Amino acid sequence: MATPSSSSGDPLALPTLTHLLVLGTSSSAADLSTSESQLSSYEAHFHAHPQPQTRPWTAYAEIAMQSGDQQGLLASLLPSTHQTDAAMTAIRTLAIIRLKHAIEKYWRAARVIRSTNKAGAATSTPVKISDEDKKALQSLLLQRVLYEENRAIALQATICISRIARTDFPNQWPDLLDNSLQALNTAATSVIGGTVTGRELEVNALIMLRSAEVVKRSVKELNAVKMLAGKMRMAELAKVLLPSLLSFFPSLFSATFPTSTSPDAIYASATSKPSTIIASQIRVCHLLFKMMSSLAIADVGTLSSRTTNGGQNESNLSYDWFKSTGGYLDHVFSVRSSLLDVLGSSSLDSSLKRPLHTLAQNMTKHLSAFGKLYLGLLDKDKSRVTSWAGWSDIIAWYWTKTGQAPASAKEKSRDIGEEALMPFPPTLVIHTLLLLRRSLEAWHFGKNAPAPFDSDDFAVSTAQIVVDYFLPFEPSALERWESDPEQWTVEEEQAQTDYTSEVRPCAEMLLMVLAKESKGRRVGRAVWHQFLQSSNLDVQDLTQVVRRDAVYTALGRLRDYLPATEQEGEDEDSERHKDDRIDISKAFVDRLLPEAAQMPPAVSPSWVLIRRRVSWLLYEYSEKLSPSSRDGVYRLLTLLLDPESHLGGDIAVRLSAARTLGALVDDIAFDAEVFQPYLESAIRSLAELATNDELALMDSIALSTRSLSILIERSGPRVAPLVPTLVELAPALWAKEANDECKTRPAVLSFVKSLLRATESTSASDPALSAKLQSLVAPLVTGCLQPGLAPLLAPDALLLWHRAVRCAAAMQGDLFNLLAVALDVEGRPGTLGPLTELPDYAPDMCRVVEEYALWHEPTGGAGSGGIAREVVRVYGQALFTSFSKVLKEDPMVLFPVQTIDVIIQGVLAGDRMEATGSMQSQGGSGLEGPTRTYNGMNLLAQTMSQTGLFEAVVRGAILLKESTSPCSYYISLLSRLAISFPPGTFVPLLRSTLAAIRASPQATSDPDSAIDSSLLSALPSTLLNLFSAKFEVTASARRRKLIALGMCAILAGSEPTSDAEERALDREAYGKIQEWVGTWLDALADIREKEGGPTPQILSSGGGSPSLGASLLEDDIGDDDEGGWLEDVSPGSARGRAISEGDLALEMKLKRTVKSALEIASAAAPQVMQQVWGGMDPMVLDLLNKELE
């Protein structure tokens, strides 16, 4: 066989593809792989096939949907083993699926192939199906699908047509819907009129069904386009199609459903024709109804409360369709009810049960479509349908029919076939509750609720029905609870989130709306009285226990709509209902807590319902409980959590108690002292629950772990005695989740973080415990940084890492070596690469590096220079290379800048500790006395130079010279480097860097990284001008002083005596003295420093501003789960304060430094300085002398 991608000598597509499709239906993995690869290659290179018969599209359609004369052709192309009906159906199905995928990929030009001919001319070929093939496929699909008997193949074909329609209708395929509707009309006329029989009737019924499917599917696809153009297309389509459909549908409906709804008439109608024909009619009626509903919802008439549109009295098509549906709805409901009576008859012939059951299923779907229509009309943005005449009648019909539905309707069946036989299917009940709730909300907003929905009596009576009828648990729900309490608990929580799919949650939402809309809190008062009366219900009878649970459910849902509490102000009916004011806390303590503590035989074994419901009520009212009542609440919840107590044991109750306890502990009114007697029991119970073998669902494990984390965090050092046991819990929790969904692992990370936070104040006094926690953090963080888990876990893992370093009093090797993983020092394949280069993780990673940098003290074998110097020594190359790459690619990314600032301060502090044993200043840049040691700063300067980071900082400052705030960050950083580097280091490094930039203006392949050529000859002047310019726009007093000090350091380090090119920077610095004097005078005027004392202070209004990067020395700013509201007593916080208070920019006296810089300059270049003084305004010079005295 020729290679499918060959462009010449190809066999015809039909036999080629038939052979490959045969392989595609094989059970052999090798055959399947061969088929997939060669079919994909054939399709991808279809542009190389010059003849239509060698292209795959038409061949796929021919194979999938054959006309009568071609069935023999396909059989002749197949081996004898594949000439069975099943084998041919499999081949046809695969062909239509391949065609569907090809249409999605190649109908529009998804890509372009570029080629060059011999003459060197470039051509571009769009990769898409040609217009000729498109026309052929449109015609073939629409013709063949109408006669396709296989439902699965027909479904795929209609999907193909709809996908084409999404792109081509109406411009390239204007007659699609017209032709389909014409075929539907013709076939329906023959079927309804009874003019055909036998095989001809079956064919017409098939055409009627398939054309309806095509129209419905196409309109659905067009409606899926949510852009404005798609909405306008649907509105125009509604205007064109709805008038004719509104006249056609009544005749189809009347011919499908008998006029009489008696069981005898239904039986006669159902047996008058073959069941398949009747099922097709109902299905067609259902499809047209859904299509017309989509058109009506898309029509602009939904935005109007009038029955006409425009000034020409045009009919409101949406309203015209809506007003006719009420009669159809009632008739379908009655016909279905009679059909169910026929099915339930004992005299029914058994041979008719299956076809009649199919009819019942179709009619159930049809009945459901009415509710979807009305809900769709409500969902339309700015819809006015609730003001239409007849809308309240529809709502009243639903409530009248289903408001007293039998018990079987209250719980949605998991079996569609079973639901079809229910007189009141749960979907109908859900639609009733949703429509009533949504309508009440809309009427309240519009202030025009019709009778009887406008009365409080209706609200109270409806709420009574909801509580008595819809809220009680059904036996099937209790059975599911008993069989799997954990699964049942998770399903209950999910139902509360997606309340539109279950009856009970829908009823709860309706109850809340009824209470909200009633005046004087009448519904809330009624429910409160029900609660008071429910104490008389029998505690032994299951039915009454379930009823009590329903009343408690209503009480929880109406938390905000009960009569005014003792803590609230007077409500509008306070005088009339003065005796109704309630004390929630007293009611809970006096009644609910004792009730929950009752045990059999005093109560029914089903009393576990009440225990869970009381726990849930405590959760709902956690913010309303008074401090005096909390002790009893804590006692009860602790007992419910304890598996060994007389109240514990049921997983559903324990999970509810865990959730409630987490909410109470997280409340601002939580008092750890009050909870102290229950702390150990609660922690042990939550830990046991989290690792319980009965818990298999990740949501349950995460819930208990989160509650445990909150409790540990809020209890603080009180949990210290339990921490050794809790540390062992983390690996077990981590191992419980074997897949990559990561539902519980964020909670485990939060749990470990809470342990760190709880023990931060004792880490120095208990180094063994601190070491154990650090050894726990390292493998967790390493695992989270794997490429497969990083998108889900890396942010939480970095927060944990940051907290671990911050809480540690002594650094362990495992924690320090984590930097090698995050910076990808070894460059291993299959990793994320350096996290500092990834935008999603870089800010948090920089915060982690800053925590290491704050560690200026010698610890953990780091040497006398501290951890900060050790980070530069071991990981400086990787870290600074990464920062250099980031800043060169985008200098607007500022987080590396502030991290470098913190590293400088940490390394400098380490040098001070090494030289003097304290944080006392030893001076820098030759401005403040003799030096002692610069081991760390020498290493830092060397590493920044080697990795190109210093150059990246200088480039960033020049590139961003026009920006205000970003450039000032770079200038502040350069100023800190200038005053921190050893004497004779900064200016020479700056000289060589400017020379390198002049030689290579463009840092990366991106043209935007290049410095403007007009600046290259004046780089020193451009850079030095920025110091005084950014001084003027900087608000922080500390940063203004830092920039002024940096200018002094540059001047002190310059040597302008040589005329060599490399000394241009030095000469330019001396040339800026007159300008800089003005800046220094401003700084000296603004910044008044307190003389004397161990720590100089800035006395200006901005003196308390932190240095650049100092915001990251505070508590976890931006850490959502902590929020900075807990007091930070961690060692990291103390280290940060020490660095901030020992900031060299704060300690250096500005007046003394300016004077020293000018003296050094005068000594180095007296002639130049004489010219400078001679050219200065005498008044300015006199002012300078007075300031420096």
Provide mean pLDDT across the span 40-49.
72
pLDDT exceeds cutoff 80 at 373? yes
84 pLDDT tier (thresholds 50, 70, 90): confident
CA–CA separation, 863 and 875 (whole Å):
15
Rounded to the nearest angstrom, the gap between the alpha carbon of residue 58 and the centroid of all alpha carbons in its chain is 43
1097 close to 1147: Cβ distance less than 8 angstroms: no
pLDDT exceeds cutoff 70 at 1183? yes
When mean pLDDT is compared across 255-264, 532-541, 777-786, 999-1008, the lowest value belongs to 999-1008
Say how many Å lie between the first and final Cα of the chain, rounded. 100
Provide mean pLDDT across the span 73-100.
82
Q: Please give, one letter per residue, the 3-state secondary structure of 560-587.
A: CCCCCECCCCCCCCCCCCHHHCECHHHH
CA–CA separation, 409 and 431 (whole Å):
12
- pLDDT score for 5: 38
Phi then psi dihedrals of residue 111, to 5 deg: -150, 170
923 close to 934: Cβ distance less than 8 angstroms: no
Kindly report, residue by residue over 214-268, the tens digit of the pLDDT: 999 999 999 999 888 889 999 999 999 999 999 999 999 999 999 998 999 998 8
933 close to 998: Cβ distance less than 8 angstroms: no
CA–CA separation, 384 and 302 (whole Å):
6
810 close to 859: Cβ distance less than 8 angstroms: yes
Read off the tokens for 187. 């076939």
Other beta carbons within 10 angstroms of residue 198's beta carbon come to 7
Other beta carbons within 10 angstroms of residue 45's beta carbon come to 16
Q: Angle at CA 366, nearest 5°, toward 362 and 369?
A: 145
pLDDT exceeds cutoff 60 at 822? yes
Token match 């320090």: residue?
816
CA–CA separation, 580 and 348 (whole Å):
59
Kindly report, residue by residue over 1023-1049, the tens digit of the pLDDT: 999 999 999 998 888 899 999 999 999
- pLDDT score for 75: 65
Kindly report, residue by residue over 727-738, the tens digit of the pLDDT: 888 888 888 877
Read off the tokens for 1005. 């392949």
Q: State the chain's mean pLDDT as an integer.
A: 85
CA–CA separation, 596 and 896 (whole Å):
57
Half-sphere exposure of 934 (CA within 13 A, CB side): 20
Q: DSSP H helical segments within 808-922, as ranges?
A: 813-822, 842-853, 866-889, 895-916
Comparison of pLDDT for 494 and 156, the residue scoring more:
156
> Nearest Cα to 563, choosing from 630, 510, 515?
515
Kindly report, residue by residue over 940-993, the tens digit of the pLDDT: 999 999 999 999 999 999 999 998 889 999 999 999 999 999 989 999 999 999
pLDDT exceeds cutoff 80 at 874? yes
1188 close to 1162: Cβ distance less than 8 angstroms: no
CA–CA separation, 298 and 224 (whole Å):
11
CA–CA separation, 744 and 427 (whole Å):
34
Kindly report, residue by residue over 294-324, the tens digit of the pLDDT: 999 999 888 887 766 555 557 889 999 999 9
873 pLDDT tier (thresholds 50, 70, 90): very high
When mean pLDDT is compared across 137-146, 299-308, 481-490, 788-797, the lowest value belongs to 299-308
- pLDDT score for 117: 53
CA–CA separation, 385 and 392 (whole Å):
10
Comparison of pLDDT for 693 and 922, the residue scoring more:
693
Q: Find the helix or strand (DSSP H, E) in which 124 lies.
A: strand 122-127
> CA 791, 792, 793, 795 torsion: positive or negative?
positive
- pLDDT score for 539: 93
pTM of the predicted protein model:
0.78
Beta strand pairing call for 111-116 and 122-127: antiparallel
Q: Find the helix or strand (DSSP H, E) in which 309 lies.
A: strand 308-309
Read off the tokens for 1089. 């420093």
Read off the tokens for 597. 């503590």
Read off the tokens for 144. 């063949």
Q: Please give, one letter per residue, the 3-state secondary structure of 1049-1110.
A: HHHHHCCCCCCCHHHHHHHHHHHCHHHHHHHHHHHHHHCCECCCCCCCCECCCCCCCCCCCH
CA–CA separation, 973 and 696 (whole Å):
53
pLDDT exceeds cutoff 80 at 443? yes
**DSSP state string for 401-447:** HHTT--GGGSS--S-HHHHHT-SS-HHHHHHHHHHHHHHHHHHHHHT
Provide mean pLDDT across the span 840-845.
94
pLDDT exceeds cutoff 70 at 69? no
When mean pLDDT is compared across 75-79, 912-916, 1024-1028, 1050-1054, the lowest value belongs to 75-79
72 pLDDT tier (thresholds 50, 70, 90): low
When mean pLDDT is compared across 30-39, 821-830, 876-885, the lowest value belongs to 821-830
> CA 168, 169, 173, 179 torsion: positive or negative?
positive
805 close to 753: Cβ distance less than 8 angstroms: no
Helix, strand, coil in percent for the chain, rounding step 5: 70, 0, 30
Half-sphere exposure of 787 (CA within 13 A, CB side): 8
759 close to 807: Cβ distance less than 8 angstroms: yes
Other beta carbons within 10 angstroms of residue 381's beta carbon come to 6
When mean pLDDT is compared across 66-70, 331-335, 1089-1093, the lowest value belongs to 1089-1093
CA–CA separation, 1122 and 716 (whole Å):
13
Beta strand pairing call for 308-309 and 314-315: antiparallel
- pLDDT score for 1145: 87
Looking at the chain, the whole-number percentage of residues with pLDDT higher than 90 is: 49
The answer for residues whose C-beta is within 8 angstroms of residue 693's C-beta and 6 or more apart is none
Q: Is 657 exposed, middle or buried (0-12, 13-18, 19+ CB in 10 A)?
A: buried
538 pLDDT tier (thresholds 50, 70, 90): very high
pLDDT exceeds cutoff 90 at 721? no
- pLDDT score for 1102: 40
Q: Find the helix or strand (DSSP H, E) in which 95 lies.
A: helix 85-106
- pLDDT score for 960: 92
pLDDT exceeds cutoff 50 at 6? no
Q: Please give, one letter per residue, the 3-state secondary structure of 36-72.
A: HHHHHHHHHCHHHCCCHHHCHHHHHHHHHCCCHHHHH
> Nearest Cα to 789, choosing from 798, 317, 504?
798
When mean pLDDT is compared across 414-418, 659-663, 833-837, the lowest value belongs to 414-418
Provide mean pLDDT across the span 26-41.
89
